[in-house]
Structure 1
C-alpha cells in the first residue's frame, strides 16, 4: 500500500496561525497595517511605472546616439578617414579573431567582446550590450554596438561605444527621489489612516464604556447618539439604544414576574402549611381531617394549575415555529367551547356561538386552549350570558368573546394581558391571572393582536390572527 503523503506542517498550520495572530491584533492596528500595505503596493506600482518610462526615454536617447556613432565609425572605416568620435565615446577595430587593430585610449587594452559576441558578429549579426551595471559607480560604464565591416582588403569588426554614466546617474537619482517620496507618502497615509480609524472607532469605544455600566446595575443608560447625523455609527447607536430599552423592559418584566409569581405561590403554600399545622396540632375527628384534606387538595390543584400555566407560557415563548394546519372554523370553535357548556348550564347562563363558515390555518394545539381560556374567564369573572363570534375573511381569523356584566375596571384594561394581572374584584375568585397573558402570547406567536375593551353590554376580548 502506498503511504499517503502528509502535508507539511507549515502548510497546514502556518496559515491558521498567521490568521489567528492577525485577528488578535487591535482593529485600529489592523486598519493601519492594511492601509500601509495597500499604499506600499500602489506606490511601488506607480514608482515602477515612472522608473520604467524614464529609463525607456533615456535608453532611446542613448541608443539613438550609439546608432549615429556606429554609422559614422563604419563610414570612416569604409572611406579611410581617421577614426574619431564625440566626447564620451570609444571605439575598437578588431579582427574576426578578436585581435585589437585600433582603439581609442579609453578601451585600448580592454576586450569589449567575448567569444560568443565575436562569433555572432563574424556571422553577420549586430551585437548590442552593456558593460557595467546600474549599481556600479564606475563612470566608464558603456553601451556598445558591434558590426562586421567589409573593407576592400579585409573584413574587420567595428565596435562603437558610448558612456552610460549620465544615464545611470539620472536613474540612481530617480530611485533615491522615488524612495524618499514613497517613504514620506507612506508615513503620511499611515498617519491619516490611523487618525481616520481612531475617529471612526472612538464612538464605538464610547458606546462600549457606556454599555459596560449596565453590568454595574445602572438603569436608564443610553448611548450618546447625535441627532443631526445619519451614518452607520449613528444608526448603530440608535439600534443599541433600542436594544437597551428592550433589555430594561425585559428586566423589569422579569422582576415583576418573579415578584408576582412568588406572591402567587406563597399564598397557597402558606395555606397548605397552616392546614397541615392545624391538623397536626391535636387529634382531629375523621370529618375534620377530611375537610382539611379537601382544602389541601384545593390548594395543591391551585399550585398545579399555576405551574402548568407558567410552563405553557414558557413553552410558547420558546416555540420557534408553529405547526399550522388548515381546520374548519366552526369545528375549531365548537371543540374549544363545548367543554364549558355544562358549567354555563349549571349557572343558568346562555353560551351562544355565531361562527361564519370558513377554514383557518392555525396551530390548533395553542389556539384551542386560548379560546377556552377566554370562555373560562368569562364564566369565572362575569355574570349573565356569554356570546362568541368568529369569522375568517381576508386571511384573518377574527374572534370576539363578550359577556354581560360591569366589564373590566378602567385601570385594569391597560394591563389586562400582563402576567398575574388581576382586577381587584377578582382577587378572591379562583384563577392565577395568567389566562389572558396566555391568550396574548398565543396570538402574538401567530403574528396577531389581542384587545380587551368594555362595551355597552359588558366586557369583550377580541383576537385578530393572520391565517
Structure 2
C-alpha cells in the first residue's frame, strides 16, 4: 500500500504538463534503451562471429601442426598460442604470453577429458589491457596428449563496442532531450485552451454575466468539443438562472395578490363594527383567498416533487378507466357552463404512473373549460407503444406569441395577471410528460386550441 506522501501521491500533485513531459521522457527512455540495446547486440554479435571464426580457423591450423609435429604456423594479426602437456606445463608459447598456463585447473581438466573451452580474458568495461579470447582443445599425437590454446586479442573489437556505446548514449540523450522539449511544447499548446477556459470559469465565478468561452470554429478536436460543451453548459445555466429569476418574480406576484386582498379584507372588517352578514361575507372572501394560496402552494409542491422524482412508478391500467376517472370531476363544471365534454378512448391497457397522469389530464380538461369555448373533446389512443392524448376545445385558441412559452411556470395567455388560475397547470403537464420520457405540445387548430401528451406506455 502506497503511503499518503509516497511517490505516487507526489506524482499526482505535479502539474499536468510536468506529468505529460515525464511520461514522454520515461516512454522515450524505454524505447531508446530498447533500440540501443538491439543495435549493440547486433553489432557485438557480428564482431564476435568474425572473431570466433578467425579463432577457430587458427586453432585448427595449430592442431594440424601439432599432430604432424611441424613448426607452428603464424596466425592472424594479434593472434597468440600456447601448447600445454596433459599436466598443464607450458611446452611452447608466444613471446607475448607469460610462462604460465592460460587455463585454470578446472578448464585444464575439462579439456583433458575431451571438451573444448572458450573464454574471454579481461573485460570491456572498465578498460583493461591484454584482453583476449581463447579457445582450447585436446590433440593426440605420437602416443602423447597435448593441449592447444589459441587466442586472439580483443582490443579492436572492444574499442569498436565502446565507441558504439558512446555514440548510442549521445544519440539517445539528444533524442530524449529533443523529444521532451517537443512533448513540453505540444502539451503546453494543447492545454493552453484549457487554461483559457479555466480563466473564463474563474471570471464567471467572480460574478461575470453572459460569459462565453472563445472556441475556434475551424477545429473539431477534443479540446474544441470541450469548449463547445462548456459554452452549452453556460447557456443552460444562464437560461436556468433566468427561469429562476422569473419564477421568483412571478411567484412573488402571485402570492402578493391574495395576501394583499386578505390584508385589505381584514383591515376593512376591523375598521369599524360589522354586522354578522358583513363578517360572514368577509370570512367567505378570506376563505377564497386562503384556498387560492393553498392551491398555489400545492401546485408548487407538486411541481418540485415531480421534478425531483428520479423515475415514475408504472402500473398496468385500463386506459378508459384512467381517463374517465380523470375527467369525471370536471363533468359538473361543464354542465354548469352548458358545455359538452366528450371522451373518445381506445379500449387498451397502458403502463403509466397512475398518481401523476390523472391530475395532468384533469389540468388539460380544466384549462379547456376555463379558457376555451364550445365542446371539449378528450381523445386517447395507443400507437407503437406510445400513448397520445389530446384535449381540444372550440375557442379562439392560443395567442401566437404565447405558444412558445405555454408550458412555462406562471405563464398565462391573458395580458393581465388577475385572471383565474396560477399559470402552473400546463407546467405540471409538461413535468408529468417529461417524467414518463415523453413530451407535451400545444397548438392551434382550425376549430380551437389543442393541448396533449405523447408518452411511452
Q: TM-score, normalised by structure 2?
A: 0.92
Distance 1:148-1:260 versus aligned 2 partners, 3 A rule = same
Instruction: State the match for 1:69 in structure 2.
Output: 58
> Which residue number in structure 1 is paired with residue 10 of structure 2?
21
Matching of residues 231-310 of structure 1 within 5 Å = 231-281=221-271, 283-310=273-300
* Cα distance, 1:375 vs structure 2: 1.4
Aligned residue in 1 for 2:30: 41
Corresponding position: 1:128 with 2:104: no
Offset from partner CA, 1:393-419 (integer Å, 9 cap, x none): 333322222234333334333322110
Is the aligned partner of 1:82 residue 2:71?
yes
Checking the alignment, whether the CA contact within 8 Å between 2:90 and 2:100 is kept in structure 1 is no
2:316 corresponds to which of 284, 308, 326: 326
Task: Call closer, same or farther: CA 1:293–1:93 in 2, change over 3 Å.
Answer: same
Separation (CA, whole Å) in 2 of partners of 1:142 and 1:452: 98
Q: What is the deviation of 1:48?
A: 0.9
- What's the offset of the Cα at 1:78? 2.8
2:329 pairs with 1:353:
no
2:212 to 209, 222, 234: 222
Unaligned runs of 5+ in 2: none
Distance 1:138 1:447 in 2: 83
Aligned residue for 2:401? 411
1:153 shift after superposition: 5.6
Q: Structure 1: which 4+ aligned runs deviate by more than 6 Å?
A: none
Select between 230-239 and 279-288 the one with higher mean Cα deviation.
Answer: 279-288
- Between the aligned partners of 1:414 and 1:151, the Cα distance in structure 2 is 115
| Distance (Å, rounded) in 2 between the aligned partners of 1:135 and 1:306 | 91
CA distance in 2, matches of 1:262, 1:228: 46
Alignment match, 2:431: 441
- Decide which of 24, 31, 47 is 2:20's aligned counterpart: 31
Determine the structure 2 residue equivalent to 1:429: 419
State the number of aligned residues. 456
2:184 is matched with which residue? 194
Deviation of 1:426 after TM superposition, in Å, equals 6.4
Give SS of 1:364's match. coil
SS in 2 for 1:450: strand
Distance in 2 between the 1:385 and 1:151 partners? 131
Whether the 8 Å contact between 1:381 and 1:426 is mirrored in structure 2 is no
Residue segments in structure 1 that go unaligned for 5+ positions in a row: 1-11
Shift of 1:261: 1.0
Alignment of 1:170-209 (within 5 A): 170-209=160-199
Which of 333, 339, 346 aligns to 2:329? It is 339
Cα distance change of structure 1 residues 451 and 426 upon mapping to structure 2, 3 Å threshold: farther
Task: Give yes or no for the alignment of 1:372 onto 2:372.
Answer: no
Tell me the CA shift for residue 94 of structure 1: 2.1
CA displacement at 1:24 relative to structure 2: 2.5
2:59, 2:150 within 8 Å by CA — same for their partners in 1?
Answer: yes
Q: Contact between 2:122 and 2:129, CA under 8 Å: does it hold in 1?
A: no
Aligned-partner Cα distance in 2 for 1:108–1:387: 121
Kindly provide the CA deviation profile for residues 184-219 of structure 1, in whole angstroms up to 9, marking residues without a partner as x. 111111112222222222222222222332223333
The separation in 2 between residues aligned to 1:259 and 1:425, in whole angstroms, is: 16
Instruction: Quote the Cα distance in structure 2 between the aligned partners of 1:412 and 1:317.
Output: 23
Q: Structure 1 CA distance, aligned partners of 2:342 and 2:66? A: 130
Distance 1:457 1:451 in 2: 17
SS at match of 1:230: coil
